[in-house]
Every structure is written in structure tokens, then in C-alpha cells.
Amino acid sequence: MSEKLVILGAQWGDEGKGKIVDLLSERFDVSVRYQGGSNAGHTVVINGVKYIMHLLPTGILHPHNTGVIAQGMVVDLKALEEEIADIEAKGNPIFDRLLISDRAHVVMPYHKLLDKLLERKNGVGTTLRGIGPAYMFKFMRKGIRVVDLFDQRVFERRLEENVEFVKSVVEKVFGERFEIDLRYIEEEVLRPFERLKSRVADTAKFLRENTKSVIFEGAQGTLLDVDMGTYPFVTSSNSSALGLAHGTGLSPKYFKDAKIYGVAKAYLTRVGGGPFPTELKGEEAERLRQKGGEYGATTGRPRRVGWLDLVALKHAVDVNALDGLILTKLDVLDGYPEIKVCVAYEYRGKIYEEFPSSLEVLENCKPVYETLPGWSGSTKGITDPEQLPANARRYLEFIENFVGVPIVMLSTGPQRHEYLFLKEVF
């Protein structure tokens, strides 16, 4: 079997990608993460045991699966080492089934420092995992790649250049003192590398030559994509399908037969700053946050919550050319007498039916809502489409009609078995 499947976020991240990829990756031999880094937190609950995947592709949890950290990622080696140890401590040996791209960039301790300093001015609300600065160094052509760690002279030269640059920025721009602590570099980078280096490979070549089935797992979501999202309140990578080719090192031709599904919550959340037209405030927000357990898997921050935004979701469908949607957390809407969905924005008397690129419009527009009837029965844990309450079915149909692609699968709880298929997925 040669099969390719892409699962990515259709909103502002945390859509439940981890849970879905865990389910769908069972039949795949290889799973790939291709952008972002430890800013991601993908939750999987298997037999009551919770795993939070940050750098590793979720599919690696299946004992037959090879997990690939591809070249488009920025890798915090210490965090990776800890993540592996954590999973292995739960009785799942994964080390020998992991491949790390030699071209991936390394997140250095001073990237995290810069993330913190920049955050004071920018207020993006980043995860402080050094993601933005690591990509900044990559595109400034100052980055340290995994391959550079094999050659001490190359590494030391790059490090010296980096330190000189960071020192001048920290001292001149931020007015703080900066001295590099080499013990820290040893602890955070070099020692973890010693333990991980046997898993480093040319992963693009591996994927090109691999004729088996591969599942690609996006991190973050389309609205956080550096080009197609709510810039500048975005992450620093292409977290939509646009990131696939350069993130993996594979030609776009490689993906021509791939199915691409977007994961979306039945409502909407966002962590950090930035526009959120359908955001709820006060008690209404607190109720939804509590019901949905909306606290960040990486940082523990309370997530901002709101109604489903179909204008934004349609944008994700279009940007990614989605074959369908996978809707999660429908159960969280159980018991709401009415459910609102945003079908357009209004800004200065003008109606926007398409997702605007302007931050000004996104920040100051008012959502135009359609109100749909809720359902009284429970959808929690249902696995049979026949058990869907009629109004829940109507809700799904309304979404499908608006965005123009089918909802192929539903998630009805955090546990592995809580899902149902509505259409053929593979």
C-alpha cells in the first residue's frame, strides 16, 4: 500500500489533532511532523493514560510506526530527549523508531531568551519555546542545524557568531546584560545530542525512497500560519498545507494524491493575543471554557473561547484545498439551547463574506451570526451516527453547506474510542 494522508489544524490550533492522528495513524507505517517545534501540544488519551506530544509525531505511539522529525521543524533537543523518556517510561519503546532530520534547525537557549524579550514588546502571547527566534536565525542564515552538531569546529564557529549577535541585540536593543553560559549549552544541546545522534538521518531521502504509507501531522493551525493566518498574531512557520513541501523536503508532486483533512472544533478557541471576532467574554466564556476543559496542553494557559467562525473555517478549507473536515468536541456543545455560528463579518457598514487579510478589519469587525437550535441529548462518546440528535445533525449539515466540503469524521470525547466516521476517509 502506498498512501498519504495529511491531518492539520483548520483553526487557531488545539483542535484535537493529536487525538485524530492517533486514531488514523494506526494503518500507516510512517508518521511525520514537518513544521513548528515544542510549541505544539497534541493530547492523546489511550486507556486512560494521557500523552502530550510536543515534538514527536503522534503516530509513533503505534509500535509498528516510524516517526519522522522533518527538516522544517525547529528542535529543542533537551525537550525531545525528555519527551522520549516520558513516553518510554509509560512502557512504549520508541527511540529506535525515530528519525530526526539532519537539516532541521536546533532551538538554542538564547532563542528562548530572545522569545521572552521580544514578547515584552510584541504581546503575541507566544509559548516562549524559542520558536520565532529559531526560525529568525534560520532565515537570517545564522541558524545551527542538527548536522552542524556533528562537527565541533563548525558548531563552535556558528555558536560564536550567534553569541556575538545575540549579545549585541540583548544589550543594545533590550538594555540587558548577556553572557553565554557554556555549561548551559552543554546541558541543553550537546549532551542531549550525544544521546540522540544515532537517530539523525536525511529524512527527505528516507521519505522519497519510502514506498510505504505516510501520515503527515500539522502543528498549530491554518489561522496561525505565518502567511495565511492572522499576521502578526501567528506562529513563525507555515502551519497550513503550504508548509508540506518545504517542511518535508519533498516536491509538491509527492503530495498530489494525498488526502488533506482539516481538524476543527465544533466551536473555536485561541491561545495568546490577536483578533478573534467570535470571542465570548464573561460568564458565557467561562462556561464554555470549563465544559471544554480549555487550558493549553503546552503552557496551561486558559484558552480564549468563542462560537464557531465559518468565515474563518471556509478560509482554511480554501487555503488547504481540504478534502473534508474532522469535527471534534461536539460533545462540549451538548445541552446548549441555542448555538451561534458566524457567517460574515461587518466592518464600517461593509459585509465581509471572505476572511480578510487586514488585521484592522479582523480586530474591529462584528460577527454576523446565524442562530441554530441546540440539542438536549448527549453526544458524549457516541460511536454510531444513528445516535446523533437531529439538531446536531442539522448543525453539521449547516457547516458542510457553508464551507462546501463534507465532515468525514466526528470526535465525541477525548478517549481513543470516542469517534465516528460519517464518510469514507481513506
Q: Determine if 238 is a binding residue for ligand IMO (CB under 6 A).
A: no
Would you call 115 a catalytic residue per the annotation?
Answer: no
Binder of ligand GDP out of 328, 339, 392, 408 (CB under 6 A): 328
- The β-bridge partners of 215 are 5, 31
Closest of 409, 413, 352, 289 to residue 5, by C-alpha: 409
Cα(339)–Cα(7) distance, rounded to whole angstroms?
A: 27
| Contact status: 241 vs ligand IMO (CB under 6 A) | no
* 253 DSSP 8-state letter: G
- CB distance 204 to 250 below 8 Å: yes
Q: Which residues pair with 7 in a beta bridge?
A: 217, 261
Q: Which is nearer to ligand IMO, 174 or 231 (CB)?
A: 231
Is 14 an active-site residue? yes
Closer residue to ligand GDP (CB): 37 or 109: 37
CB of 43 to ligand GDP, least distance (A): 3
Question: Apex CA 76: angle with CA 71 and CA 77, to 5°?
Answer: 95
| Given 45, 258, 343, 344, the residue binding ligand GDP (CB under 6 A) | 45
Q: How many CB atoms lie within 10 A of CB 250?
A: 22
Q: Which one of 4, 5, 10, 14 is in contact with ligand GDP (CB under 6 A)?
A: 14
Interface with ligand IMO, residue 327, by CB under 6 A: no
Nearer to ligand GDP, 103 or 291 (CB): 291
**Choice between 188 and 418, CB closer to ligand GDP:** 418
- All cell numbers assigned to 198: 544515532
Select from 36, 37, 41, 133 the one that contacts ligand GDP (CB under 6 A).
41
- Whether omega for the bond prior to residue 277 falls within 30 degrees of 0, making it cis, is no
Beta strands 338-347 and 308-309 are parallel
C-alpha angle 245-262-217 in degrees, rounded to nearest 5: 50
Q: Which is nearer to ligand IMO, 273 or 406 (CB)?
A: 273
**Which of Mg ion, ligand IMO, ligand GDP, none lies near 277, with the C-beta cut-off 5 to 8 A by kind?**
none
Q: What is the distance between the terminal CA atoms of the chain, rounded to a whole angstrom?
A: 12
Nearest Cα to 24, choosing from 408, 379, 413?
408
Catalytic residue among 14, 76, 102, 309: 14
The option from ligand GDP, ligand IMO, Mg ion, none interacting with 126 (CB < 5 to 8 A, set by class) reads ligand IMO
22, 29, 42, 111: the catalytic one is 42
Residues with a catalytic annotation lie at 14, 42
Binding residues (CB under 6 A) for ligand IMO: these are 9, 12-14, 39-42, 124-127, 129, 131-132, 219-221, 224, 235-236, 271-272, 297
